[in-house]
A and B are shown apart, each in its own frame.
Chain A
Amino acid sequence: MKRPVLIAVALTLVIALTLPAASVAQEEVTLNWLEWWDPEFSVETMDQLVAGFEEMYPNIKINRTAVPWGNMYENLVTSAQSPTAMYDVVGMEWIWMTGLDKLGLFEDLGPWIAQAPEEWQAQRVPGTAVQWAGMTEMIYWYILPYGLAYNIDMLEAAGVEPPTNWDDFVAAAEALRNEDAGVYGFAISAGQNNSAVYFYLADLMQQLGGHFLDEEGNPNFTSPEGVQAMEMWKEFYDAGLAVPGSLAETHTSTREYFSTGRIAMIWDGPFIGTIAHQVNPDMRVAYAPAWQNETGGYMWSGSGLAMAANSEHKEEAWLFLQYLLSPEVAVMMTEATSIPYGCNVVLDEVLATSEDPILREIPAMLTQDPEYNYFQQPIPEYETTHDTLMLAIQEILAGDKSAQEALDEAAAVWQEEIDKVREE
Chain B
Amino acid sequence: MTTRARASTMAVPAQRRLQSWIKQSRGYLFIAPAVIFLLVVMVYPLANVFVTSFTQIDTRERTQEYVGLDNYAALLDDSTLWNSVRNTVIFTAASVVLHLLIGGVLALLLNEQWLSAEVRNFTRGVLILPWLFSTAASALIWGLLYHPFGTLNYLLMSSGLASEPVEFLGDRALALMSLVLVNVWKTFPFYMVMILGGLQSIPVELYEVSRVDGAGRLQRFRHITLPMMRPVILAISTIDIITTFGHFDLVKLMTFGGPIRSTETIAYYVWQTGFRDVNFGYGAAISVMMVVVLSIGVLVYLRMFTAREQMYGETTTAL
Binding site for B on A (CB under 8 A): 73-74, 77, 81, 99, 101-104, 179, 182, 190-192, 243-250, 262, 381, 383-384, 391, 394-395, 398, 400
Contacts and interface: CB of A to CB of B under 8 A. Distances in A.
Contacts of A74: 275
A398 B260 contact: yes
B170 A383 contact: no
Given A245-B148, A398-B260, 9 more contacts: A73-B276, A99-B277, A102-B59, A191-B255, A247-B170, A247-B258, A247-B260, A384-B277, A394-B258
A99 B60 CA distance: 10
Contacts of A191: 170, 255-256, 258-259
A412 B301 CA distance: 42
A245 B165 contact: yes
Contact of B277 (A81, A104, A249, A381): A381
Given A244-B165, A248-B255, A248-B258, A101 B60 contact: yes
Contacts of B164: 179, 244
Contact of B261 (A77, A102, A383, A391): A391
A-B pairs with the 4 shortest C-beta distances?
A247-B259, A245-B170, A248-B170, A248-B169
Contacts of A190: 259
A262 B165 CA distance: 15
Contacts of B255: 191, 248
A216 B165 CA distance: 45
Interface centre among A73, A74, A102, A245 (most CB of B within 10 A): A245
Interface string B170-208: 111001000000000000000000000000000000000
Contact of B278 (A102, A244, A249, A398): A102
Given A248-B259, A381-B277, A103 B59 contact: yes
A304 to B, nearest CB: 20
A77 B171 contact: no
Contact of A400 (B258, B260, B276): B260
Chain B interface mostly helix, strand, loop or mixed?
A: loop
A310 B145 CA distance: 45
A39 B268 CA distance: 28
A80 to B, nearest CB: 8
Interface string B71-106: 000000000000000000000000000000000000
A248 B167 contact: yes
The SS class assigned to the A binding surface is helix
Interface in B250-266: 255-256, 258-261
Contacts of A103: 59-60, 278
B5 to A, nearest CB: 62
Nearest to B169: A248
A392 to B, nearest CB: 10
Given A182-B149, A398-B172, A99 B260 contact: no
Contacts of A104: 59-60, 62
Interface residues of B, number: 25
Contacts of B258: 191, 247-248, 394
24 contacts: A74-B275, A77-B275, A99-B276, A99-B278, A101-B60, A102-B60, A103-B278, A104-B59, A104-B60, A182-B149, A190-B259, A191-B170, A191-B256, A244-B170, A245-B169, A247-B171, A247-B259, A248-B167, A248-B175, A248-B255, A250-B256, A262-B149, A383-B272, A398-B172
Contacts of B169: 245, 248
A355 to B, nearest CB: 35
A398 B60 contact: no
A25 B254 CA distance: 46
A400 B149 CA distance: 26
Contact of B170 (A73, A101, A246, A400): A246
Contacts of A248: 167, 169-170, 175, 255, 258-259
Nearest to A240: B164
Given A74-B275, A383-B272, A247 B172 contact: yes
A183 B104 CA distance: 43
A400 B261 CA distance: 13
A341 to B, nearest CB: 30
Contacts of A81: 59
A55 B149 CA distance: 49
B115 to A, nearest CB: 41
A383 B277 contact: yes
A391 B171 CA distance: 14
B253 to A, nearest CB: 10
Contacts of B272: 383
A12 B59 CA distance: 43
A22 B62 CA distance: 37
